[in-house]
Amino acid sequence: MSGATIARYRRVIPGFGITLGMTLLWLSLIVLIPLAALFLKTTELSLEQFVRIVTSPRVVHALQLSFGLSLAAAAVNLLFGSAVVWALVRYEFPGRRLFDAIVDIPFALPTAVAGIALTNLYAENGWLGRLLAPLGIQIAFTPLGIFVALVFVGLPFVVRTVQPVLEDLEAELEEAAATLGASRLTTIRRVIFPAILPALLTGFALAFARAVGEYGSVIFIAGNLPNVSEIAPLLIVIRLEEFRYADATAIAAVMLVASFLILLAINLLQRWSERRTRGD
């Protein structure tokens, strides 16, 4: 037999068909089909109905509260997280390793536990609440309490995302800047900061995304008063309990799309800053 041609390329490692098949099957069953149900439900509403639900005052307020406070909390985590990661990476101080491990606690701690702990802490007779009451500051059962809870859950994201980048930063970059006469502040501003900016933005985005969807840590400390301290996820749950599936779905759809858009924007921002710092 001459000139035989190999019809198709064979894979060396066995198991492609079955592993990919199982993966796709599992993925469809658990993730894709349920998410499809969500979008299917959304399409059952006419556009007019959808808009009516989504622009009702209570819904608008809940969305504003969720997104607004999440943004604020992520910003606080960006600011303080930067200080934390700088201290953990650059300085030696007693208990540094302990504090390094502590950063992971909000990530590992169940949200309900965090919720009741924070509520108890900031309630009027709690450890911190009773210190703030004389100053006229009330945290529990107000939007301020929600803010505190969101800072808690988003805390690890900025730190852990920036940490490896900062650790891998070559010392020579800073030393070169120093030999060229740059002050410490200038070096930080013009050498270090641009290098960690993409990681900072990613951490911010992750903290924000986490905060927007947060439920367990928040519903205990929030007052859950409609139009005052009611977060969007809670409103979804309430609508579900009322069997108003369409309303719940509409709010969820808005949340998903808005989060997606904001994350996309941050992603683009991040890539832009990467390109600038890398000089592509």
Partner 1 sequence: MSDQPLALPGYDSRTGYPSGMRAFRTPSMVLRQVKPASDARADPTPMRWAIIGITIAFLTLFVLVPLANVFAQAFSKGLDAYFAAISNPDALAAIELTLIVAAISVGLNLVFGIVAAWAITKYEFAGKSLLITVMDLPFSVSPVIAGLVFVLLFGAQGYLGPWLQAHDIKIIFALPGIVLATVFVTFPFVARELIPLMREQGTLDEEAALSLGASGLRTFFKVTLPNVKWALLYGVLLCNARAMGEFGAVSVVSGHVRGETNTMPLHVEILYNEYQFMAAFAVASLLALLALVTLVAKVMLEGRAAKE
Partner 2 sequence: MKIALHEVTRRFGAFTALDNVNLDIHSGELVALLGPSGSGKTTLLRIIAGLDWPDQGEVHFDGEDALSRSVGERNVGFVFQNYALFRHMTVFENVAFGLRARPRRLRPTELEIRSRVKQLLELVQLGPLGERLPTQLSGGQRQRIALARALAIEPRILLLDEPFGALDAKVRKELRRWLRQLHDEIHVTSVFVTHDQEEALELADRVVVLAKGRVQQIGTPDEVYEQPQSAFVHHFIGESLSVPVTIAAGGVHFAGRKLDLDPHGLSDGEASLFIRPYEVTVVPESGSALLNGIVKRVHGFGPARRLEIALQEGDREHFIEVSAPRHEAVGIGQHVGLRPRAYRLFASPADRSPGV
Residue 101 sits in the site that holds partner 2 (CB under 8 A): no
In the complex, minimum distance from the CB of residue 214 to partner 2, in angstroms, rounded to a whole number: 41
Q: How far apart are CB 14 and partner 2 at their closest, in Å?
A: 8
Size of the site for partner 2 (CB under 8 A): 10
Residue 31: alpha-carbon gap to chain centroid: 20
Structure tokens at 47: 């556009």
Of 3-11, 171-179, 225-233, 264-272, which segment contacts partner 2 by CB under 8 A? 3-11
Structure tokens at 194: 């641009």
Are the C-beta atoms of 143 and 245 separated by less than 8 Å? no
Q: At what angle do helices 57-90 and 245-278 cross, to 10 degrees?
A: 40
CA 95, 96, 101 angle in degrees (round to 5)? 100
Instruction: Indicate which single residue of 87, 132, 262, 269 sits in contact with partner 1 (rule: CB under 8 A).
Output: 87
Instruction: Show Cβ contacts of residue 126 under 8 Å, excluding neighbours closer than 6 positions.
Output: 119, 120, 140
User: Is residue 111 part of the contact set for partner 1 (CB under 8 A)?
Assistant: yes
255 touches, from partner 1, partner 2, none (C-beta below 5 to 8 Å by class): partner 1
* 3 is a contact residue toward partner 2 (CB under 8 A): yes
Q: Distance between CA 157 and CA 180 in Å, rounded?
A: 35
* Among the residue ranges 46-54, 56-64, 136-144, 228-236, the one whose residues contact partner 1 (CB under 8 A): 228-236
Q: Which of residues 4-33 bind partner 2 (CB under 8 A)?
A: 4-6, 9-10, 12, 14
209 interacts with partner 1 by CB under 8 A: yes
- Give me 161's structure tokens: 């995302």
- In the list partner 1, partner 2, none, the entry touching 3 (Cβ below 5 to 8 angstroms by class) is partner 2
CB 159 within 8 A of CB 203: yes
Q: Interface residues with partner 2 (CB under 8 A)? A: 1-6, 9-10, 12, 14
